[in-house]
A and B are shown apart, each in its own frame.
Chain A
Amino acid sequence: MSSLRSITLATLTKDVRLEWRSKDAINSMLFFSLLVVVIFSFSFDPNAEESRQIAGGLIWVAFLFAAVVALNQTWARELRNQVLDAYRVSPAPANALFMAKVLGNFILVSLLEGLMAPLFMIFYNLRALGPAWQLIPVALLGTWALVVNGTFFAAMSLRTRSREIMLPLLLFPISIPAVQSMVEATRIILTGDGAARFWIVLLLTYDVVFTTACLALFETILQAE
């Protein structure tokens, strides 16, 4: 267990350091998110009441697109020079690699959301009528839901042709209940119309179920050749 944690940490540190050195992904991702926000804002120009109704859907669909672009980069670094093989021949547990990648993606996607959310608030002139603090658990659980499966499916699409397009094809159908929960919870909190508890619990269930499944099956995917 200690080696799992220490290797996870070592891999995460290595990824962050590499990212910090090149800053490729983060810069292009930030700009991409900004573009998504602007385009979404152009496309829909509702009044305050309508915007509360639809903002949940808009925001999360925008996040979903931004996340997919980020997730597609997850394994790019491990493919260059086939470094992934060096990991595969080592005795290090597969799940340490997986957790490191999930945490890295979680940080990256949260960062993007942290940038995009205020912009959406400004462009749509949003103000939550319900308990706004609940948006935080929704955002955290929702992001985790996208990232944990996204990282897993990105690893899966490594073994396929046209891998960039495979990720959304695999991720979106499985993510439907999670996306619906995030959207509904956000809508309820923004409009103050009812309680979001059911959706938060469903999201939590989704996260627990799929995190477990990913950890149980990642080794199979990593060793697939």
Chain B
Amino acid sequence: MTESAATIRVTNLIKQFGRFAALRGVTAEFDSGRFHVILGDNGAGKTTLLRALAGLADPTRGEISIFDKNPHEACREIGYMAHPSLLYDEMSGMENLRYFARLYDIAGDARSSEAIRSVGLDPELSRPVGKYSQGMRQRMSLARAILHDPKILLLDEPFSNVDVHSAQEMVGLLKQMRDAGKTIFVVTHQAALLEGAADEFIWMQAGQIVDRTRHLVPDPAGRA
């Protein structure tokens, strides 16, 4: 795989839930090492697209190729952070990560501590995750997603209910990761936070990608 080639290819993706279609023929290619932001109204299919990329929602039709593999085969390369924390409330952050590290065959605590420190938290914190503040929980959730050092990060609403300051810190963190060569997808309603940090804004509407822009506000030359 050369650097320039697209790492993620999505072909005519359709996801139907009974009488409702969340994705209606999405075709796109995404380069690696870039910071993508997915925007759109509620029900535009953002989360479903992210879950399909993570291998959590098998598409009704269409194909996803990540490093020429399907999402299940590529699972070691994917870090997924959902809107809920995906953590056990009754355990401390370290205990949580220690368990998830086992799922990825990562031995020892070193990697878990590193992941926790990299999101700006203290691995020694013994409080159960359920008693964390929302901002801390989101960060711990991010630590879980990057635990196995994936090449691709899929983040669903990582800044919701997080104060502006913490959110900006998280954006800085994501920027660092992008600079370190990771491919990042963020679904968010708070796009303004990401202007300047993101490489591309992907606009979704009614289950399709309608536009892809470099900036949040279209430049005056306009492409309308």
Contact = CB atoms under 8 A, between A and B. Distances in A.
A115 interface: no
Range for the number of chain A residues in contact with chain B: 20 to 34
Nearest to B74: A91
Contact of A83 (B55, B57, B87): B87
B76 A82 contact: no
A86 B58 contact: no
Interface stretch (A3-11, A42-50, A51-59, A116-124): A3-11
A22 B89 CA distance: 11
Interface in B142-191: 144
Contact of B104 (A11, A22, A88, A90): A90
A147 to B, nearest CB: 23
A14 B82 contact: no
A87 B100 CA distance: 8
B206 interface: no
A90 B104 CA distance: 7
A81 B102 contact: no
Contact of A225 (B57, B80, B88, B104): B57
Interface in B81-101: 82, 84-91, 99-100
Interface in A175-225: 223, 225
A22 B72 CA distance: 34
Nearest to A90: B103
A92 interface: yes
Contacts of A90: 75, 100, 103-104
Contacts of A3: 105
Interface in B74-133: 75-76, 78, 80, 82, 84-91, 99-100, 102-105
Contacts of A6: 102
Contact of B102 (A7, A18, A89, A225): A7
B102 A82 contact: no
Contact of B87 (A7, A81, A87, A88): A81
A194 to B, nearest CB: 49
Contacts of A77: 88
Interface of A: 3, 6-7, 10-11, 14, 17-18, 21-22, 77, 80-83, 85-92, 223, 225
26 contacts: A6-B102, A7-B102, A10-B99, A14-B88, A14-B99, A18-B88, A18-B90, A21-B90, A80-B89, A81-B86, A81-B89, A82-B82, A85-B80, A85-B86, A86-B80, A86-B103, A86-B144, A88-B55, A89-B56, A89-B75, A91-B75, A91-B103, A92-B102, A223-B58, A223-B72, A225-B58
